[in-house]
Structure 1
Amino acid sequence: MAVQRTGAVTLALVGYLFLVEIVSGVLQGYYVPLIPDLVKHLGIRDADFNWFEAAQLLLSAIVVPVLAKLGDMYGHKRILLVSTALTAGATWWLVIAADFPTFLVAWALQGFYVVWLPLEVALIFDRARRTRTGPSDTRRAAGYLVVALETGAILGALGGARVFAALGENVPGTLAVPAIAVTLVFFAILFGVPESTPTRGRSLDTLGFVLLTVALLTLTSGLTFLRINGPGAWWVYLLMGVGLLAFVPFGRHELRHRDPAIDLRMLRQPSMWPIQLTAGLVGISILGAQAPLSTFAGTEPSNGFGLGLGSAEISYIIGGYLVSMIVGALLFPQLSRWTTPRIAMIVAAFFVAAGYLAFLPFHDTVAQVTVNMVIAGVGSGALVGAMPAAAAAAAPRGQTGVATALTNTTKTIGGSLASAVFAVVLVSLAAEAVTSTAASLAGYLVVFAICGGGALAAAVLLFFVPRLAFADPADDTDIPTPATVPVPD
């Protein structure tokens, strides 16, 4: 089936992007089992590795909106190639980086891969919008991309340690494997993916993006420093306050600009703002709960709770969670067809809420924890693909990339906020623990309650979405088509 067929979301197009997301998942899972060995290789402390994650989150929050807007202006494939080239360069830099500063910079720059999924969904919807089944085709394709993402994460988590052992614990050789994968996927995009149709006459709102960068940088930096330095550092609250206040001049500028960096009027649409808030609320559990879940499973039962599992056993629970996300991503398009996309997203959000709230009474055995994680994983997998697809369907022409990317940005902010809050909660409620390094059961229950409550709030917000939002025009001829964004002559 030809990739270049006009207006078609072909099997070949989805197949090439499937490969891209496989590599994206590998990048997210490959390094996790190697962290202790990377710490030794760089001669740093375990706690110093937090800076790598923090730097990559900061970069992703800043660059994703900019690259998405450039994709709307110049073509999503072109910017996908640029971000892949930057990711490949950073991944090769990790191979030769031998000290903390250079490794930190390279690790941060590798974070350009986070824009891949929003650009891919925007590219798919650009081709699909020419047909009457564009929204459903995009949902189905986004589900397949999430399957690829989680499959890649499983392969990466399983393969990292094995490659390290097979290469005689050679760190540079082990780090070269993902670098080769990213390089190969660049050529897959170059030769296999068609270009989208950019909107002509657009301009880049440079001042708007500068103001947005300042606001996001100060806010997410404050959240990161709160997690690292603890609640006793008063200046982190000042930094977060400055970040929040920085959104005021940004908003005023955007409302005056003819072609804004972020169209705030678009975000006020009833089919858009619940999606963006849902992304932030679901990011609490998807991104923020990973570390608490691992430490809870590894806590010794002598503390009165915990499973006392080793890293190998914990990986099985995480693997079950990732597999359940794949199931959720595959079920979501089918459920949307049986009901409506809005109802399917509400059901998925309730699954996430049910999974985490079930931790409150059921957390004593491996079976209970695994079942909770599987329930939450089904809902999370459905929403990871559904949110950018829904944002694309609700966006005006010329704003697809920005709309899909904002779901990633709000998810990142939600995850950063949750990580900081969870770190504070677990430290402040650690007095009840028997061992000095463990948190308390009360702290973990608060974390699980916040995750479940956030997902429950997301489900309620989605009821405000119009009944037939994100549905195919063929399903209801009264569904309004998003207007084209006004641009300068």
Structure 2
Amino acid sequence: MTRTTNDRPAVVPVLAFAGIVVAVMQTLLVPVIKDLPQLLDTSPSNATWVLTSTLLSGAVATPIMGRLGDLYGKRRMLVLSLAVMVVGALVSAVTSALLPMIVGRTLQGFAMGAIPLGIGLMRDMLPREKLGSAMALMSSSIGVGGGLALPAAALVAQNTDWHALFYGAAGLGILAIALTLFAVPESPMRAEGTFDLPGALGLSTGLVLFLLPITKGSDWGWTSATTLGLFAASAAVLLLWGVYELRSKAPLVDLRTTARPAVLFTNLASIMVGVSFYVVSLVLPQLLQLPTSTGYGLGQSMVVAGLLVAPLGLTMMFTAPVYARLSAKHGPKFTLILGLLIIAVGYGAGLGLMSAAWQSLVIAVLLGAGIGLAYSSLPALIVGAVPASETGAANGLNTLMRSIGTSVSSAVIGMVLANTANTVGGVEIPTMQGFRVSFLIATGAVAIGLLLALFLPKPDRAPRLRASSEEEANLARAEEALRGFRGRVLDSGGAPVARAKVTLIDHSGRQAGATLSAEDGSYALSVPAQGAYVLAAKANGHGPHASSATHAGGDGAVDVDLALPTA
């Protein structure tokens, strides 16, 4: 029989903990961000790369690890992501030089792949009634971990050597690896094809060429040949990458799937949610810690500033069960729009609430609630729009979009704050103008995200998008099309086999469809055209089985039962 989370009750908490560890790594240096130029003996624009490099490598790692997880096993790649993060944390722990620090932080960014991999594992193992809330928890863990990390990291940095932050992150990563190996079984789901190395290199190159001039444009000059040349090179590389991906038989990113309205507008909105999430993480801690002698700084200690911003992540955690109820009633599109509206209110209020510490707390709570609802909606919208075998890659792409948003946010806001800073005693101090411009940028991003969310499929399609299991979505499609194959997956004794993977292969040997059997063993697959096909089924605890079948065309379904031998 297929192993489920009933056999492993710790699966969801362990995967959520891995997501929290990733978030801790991502926000580890936020409490000391204003001191990084002095700590690393470099300029503010260069110091920005200590944060941006992590976000950039995370942006690249998410689709790569998602695809590798689909091909070779999601748990295996989850452990690998966390192991690379541990190595990167140890590299950063032993240096105070800029370049080695960026190398270490780049390696730490690979842990971002844990988010789509964790969602993919939940998708493969959880029963449908538990999947929505579990994915919401996993998706919002990035904010939960960030909220918890801020005061903890501030406490460590204020009372010990700041390098201890990295030793702590390495310890958490090792614990997450151990728990994953102990509590999380490997998923039986595998995608067809090979890994797209040229696609991975092309995406990495294009993103680096895009973010580098955003970060350094103010130093080089926005109209300089270097800045414009890098932007042009980025556009050319990403265009060529897109053409290559469309022609590849096994692309890193299936751009045709991405073109579906439910996927396309969700991913574009995800970029804007990513931008809005990171702005508050960069602005509020600095505003709170600046001395009152500046005329606008709130004069709080590092620890108090962390505690005042912590509700951002804690509120995200509490919105996960609220999201599950709202989404069950109204659908994930509704919760995404509601979340974006709350974020807009939070940033709009923040433009006028920057004069007292308690006001920062209000802003953090509002933004946490909105970002929590928005983040929780994204994986549900993606999972409802792609086949089961593409879940890891599709969620990896969605996390990539969020990571691009946070990377652009880090680079742009870092540039804004550096360009509007005042030099006092040889130290560059961010100004209130810079903080307000940053909040305006976030508000604009949310407005664009809200517009994109409105283009998602209409509410009358919400039941299809809310389908928590692949068998429901595919059965619904087969019932509408009335052209394909249907039947049951049974064991050697005639008992139904739940969550068996059934793959449809056409006469040329290519995959034409895939699904998972329902709890009663039933499956349904539509066919693109008449002709001869092979139906292949496999499940844990059973040997594989393949059966030839022919569809003569026209409406109607051909009944084909698949009997799996005992392994």
Moved more, 311-320 or 290-299: 290-299
Matched AA of 2:57: L
Matched AA of 2:55: L
Seen in structure 2, the aligned counterparts of structure 1 residues 125 and 45 have a Cα distance that, compared at 3 Å, is same
- Conserved 8 A contact 1:356-1:373: no
Match of 1:261 among 252, 267, 276: 252
Seen in structure 2, the aligned counterparts of structure 1 residues 199 and 362 have a Cα distance that, compared at 3 Å, is same
Match of 1:325 among 308, 316, 339: 316
Q: Counterpart in 1 of 2:59?
A: 61
Moved more, 337-346 or 7-16: 7-16
Alpha-carbon separation, structure 2, partners of 1:436 and 1:191: 49
- The RMSD of aligned alpha carbons is 3.7
Alpha-carbon separation, structure 2, partners of 1:310 and 1:173: 19
Q: Counterpart in 1 of 2:492?
A: none
Moved more, 246-255 or 154-163: 154-163
Q: Counterpart in 2 of 1:23?
A: 21
Alpha-carbon separation, structure 2, partners of 1:224 and 1:93: 24
Q: Counterpart in 1 of 2:466?
A: 471
- Conserved 8 A contact 2:5-2:125: yes
- Conserved 8 A contact 2:151-2:305: no
In the TM superposition, residue 396 of structure 1 has moved relative to its aligned partner by 2.3
Moved more, 410-419 or 224-233: 224-233
Matched AA of 2:467: D
Match of 1:141 among 119, 123, 134: 134
Q: Is it true that 1:281 corresponds to 2:272 in the alignment?
A: yes
- Conserved 8 A contact 1:138-1:389: no
- Conserved 8 A contact 1:72-1:398: yes
Matched AA of 1:86: V
Alpha-carbon separation, structure 2, partners of 1:217 and 1:43: 22
Seen in structure 2, the aligned counterparts of structure 1 residues 230 and 377 have a Cα distance that, compared at 3 Å, is farther
Q: Counterpart in 2 of 1:397?
A: 388
Q: Counterpart in 1 of 2:229?
A: 238
Seen in structure 2, the aligned counterparts of structure 1 residues 372 and 153 have a Cα distance that, compared at 3 Å, is closer
Q: Counterpart in 1 of 2:108?
A: 110
Match of 2:87 among 86, 89, 92: 89
Q: Is it true that 1:159 corresponds to 2:152 in the alignment?
A: yes
Matched AA of 1:326: M
Provide structure 1 residue ranges, at least 5 long, that are not aligned to the other structure: none
Alpha-carbon separation, structure 2, partners of 1:362 and 1:37: 25
| 1:6-55 C-alpha deviation (Å, 9 max, x unpaired) | 48696321022133233223323444446689877x76347353232232
In the TM superposition, 1:112-261 aligns within 5 A as 112-128=110-126, 131=127, 133=128, 137-146=130-139, 148-160=141-153, 162-163=155-156, 169=160, 175-226=166-217, 231=222, 235-261=226-252
In the TM superposition, residue 267 of structure 1 has moved relative to its aligned partner by 0.9
Alpha-carbon separation, structure 2, partners of 1:80 and 1:29: 20
Seen in structure 2, the aligned counterparts of structure 1 residues 304 and 179 have a Cα distance that, compared at 3 Å, is closer
Alpha-carbon separation, structure 2, partners of 1:99 and 1:197: 44
Aligned length: 477
Provide structure 2 residue ranges, at least 5 long, that are not aligned to the other structure: 481-501, 512-567
- Conserved 8 A contact 2:311-2:361: yes
TM-score, length basis structure 2: 0.74
Alpha-carbon separation, structure 2, partners of 1:156 and 1:430: 27
* More helix as a share of residues: 1
- Conserved 8 A contact 1:298-1:308: yes
TM-score, length basis structure 1: 0.84
| 1:320-374 C-alpha deviation (Å, 9 max, x unpaired) | 2222222223321121123222111111111111111223444444344432332
Matched AA of 1:84: L
Seen in structure 2, the aligned counterparts of structure 1 residues 294 and 173 have a Cα distance that, compared at 3 Å, is closer
Q: Any idea what SS the aligned residue of 1:212 has?
A: helix
- Conserved 8 A contact 2:337-2:374: no
Matched AA of 1:88: V
Matched AA of 1:383: A
In the TM superposition, residue 438 of structure 1 has moved relative to its aligned partner by 5.2
Q: Any idea what SS the aligned residue of 2:62 has?
A: helix
By relative contact order (CA 8 Å, sep 6+), the higher-ranking structure is 1
* More strand as a share of residues: 2
Matched AA of 1:137: K
Seen in structure 2, the aligned counterparts of structure 1 residues 399 and 255 have a Cα distance that, compared at 3 Å, is same
Matched AA of 1:145: M
Matched AA of 2:402: K
- Conserved 8 A contact 1:289-1:419: no
In the TM superposition, residue 140 of structure 1 has moved relative to its aligned partner by 0.6
Q: Any idea what SS the aligned residue of 1:288 has?
A: helix
Q: Any idea what SS the aligned residue of 2:103 has?
A: helix
Alpha-carbon separation, structure 2, partners of 1:97 and 1:442: 34
Alpha-carbon separation, structure 2, partners of 1:443 and 1:164: 25
Alpha-carbon separation, structure 1, partners of 2:89 and 2:300: 32
Q: Any idea what SS the aligned residue of 1:272 has?
A: helix
Alpha-carbon separation, structure 2, partners of 1:427 and 1:340: 42
| 1:265-302 C-alpha deviation (Å, 9 max, x unpaired) | 11111211111011101111112343233334455667
Q: Is it true that 1:387 corresponds to 2:378 in the alignment?
A: yes
Q: Counterpart in 2 of 1:44?
A: 41
| 1:220-267 C-alpha deviation (Å, 9 max, x unpaired) | 222232377674755223212211222221222222222222111111
Q: Counterpart in 1 of 2:489?
A: none
Q: Is it true that 1:72 corresponds to 2:70 in the alignment?
A: yes
Seen in structure 2, the aligned counterparts of structure 1 residues 27 and 341 have a Cα distance that, compared at 3 Å, is same
Seen in structure 2, the aligned counterparts of structure 1 residues 307 and 12 have a Cα distance that, compared at 3 Å, is same
Q: Counterpart in 1 of 2:522?
A: none
Alpha-carbon separation, structure 1, partners of 2:114 and 2:152: 22
In the TM superposition, residue 451 of structure 1 has moved relative to its aligned partner by 1.3
Alpha-carbon separation, structure 1, partners of 2:448 and 2:346: 14
Moved more, 42-51 or 337-346: 42-51
Q: Counterpart in 1 of 2:403?
A: 412
In the TM superposition, residue 470 of structure 1 has moved relative to its aligned partner by 2.5
Alpha-carbon separation, structure 2, partners of 1:112 and 1:151: 19
